[in-house]
Amino acid sequence: MATRAANKRLTREYATLQSSPPPYITAHPSETNILEWHYILTGPPATPYEGGQYWGTLLFPPTYPFAPPAIRMHTPSGRFQPSTRLCLSISDFHPKSFNPAWEVSTILIGLMSFMTSDEMTTGSLSAGENERKWLAARSRWWNSTGGGSSTNPTKGNIATIRGVGAVKAGDGGVKFRAEWPELDEENWTWMKRNRIDAATGRVLPNPDAQDAEGSGSKTCDPQVAALRRGPGGMGTHAVLGDAGRAARQAGQGWVGRHKFLVAGAVLIGWVLLTRWVNGGGGEV
């Protein structure tokens, strides 16, 4: 339970965030617990996270602002392990280095700065740029479906909006929807418009309008294009083409893969044999 000082401080900081939010950052406390905050970082331009929707939580101690919050990012990003406490100078891993003058906005700006850097720490990942772009493109789908489980729930995983620790694939997007209902509605509209399969996060083909890559509806949305390219950065058609060729070659023997060479050798052999017979090569 928050102390009177923590309650007063967090209430004032929420009002400040509403009136003057930092770029690409929004946050609010839970309706049932002012110590539990939910934030959204929008991936800034000219980064691998551009356009991504990164949802996470700050869990403040009752003694805030004299101690820092636990920081987690739930949305897969390729930068942080989902739903894992992050070791930062502004987090509860380093309470002695926390400055009571720092506010929620300061903490989230610091998190954004660390996310777009290359520095490693406990809870961070070193995924490649293409994978991070692909995860950014999947972020809205992941948030609103719980990783696809809204249409195919994970067995034994009971959806709940309680708690802020392990928000992982399988909750059906319930926790995100409870905290961000307007964003969730926007996400579903985006998925429907761009033919994103709710179960898999993949772009479904549109038989009525083929685009330049040969699949899906025509769109200029860079995130949809990133979904088609996949985590490796290649177009879906290129990946499938290479895979198909490899599969065909793997299923053939040496003769099948070199049939023209074999045919040429047979033809040359037949010509030489004919000349030898006609020239009397069979006489003793």
Q: 181: number of CA atoms within 13 Å, CB side?
A: 3
Which is catalytic among the residues 87, 169, 198, 234?
A: 87
HEC profile of 207-225: CCCCCCCCCCCCCCCHHHH
Residues in the chain, overall count: 284
Least Cα distance to 161 among 149, 175, 150, 172 occurs for 175
Burial 201-210 (b: 16+ CB within 10 A, else e): bbbeeeeeee
Handedness of CA 246, 248, 254, 256 (dihedral sign): negative
Active-site residue, 87 included: yes
Helix, strand and coil content of the chain, in percent to the nearest 5, comes to 40, 10, 50
* Residues noted as catalytic: 87
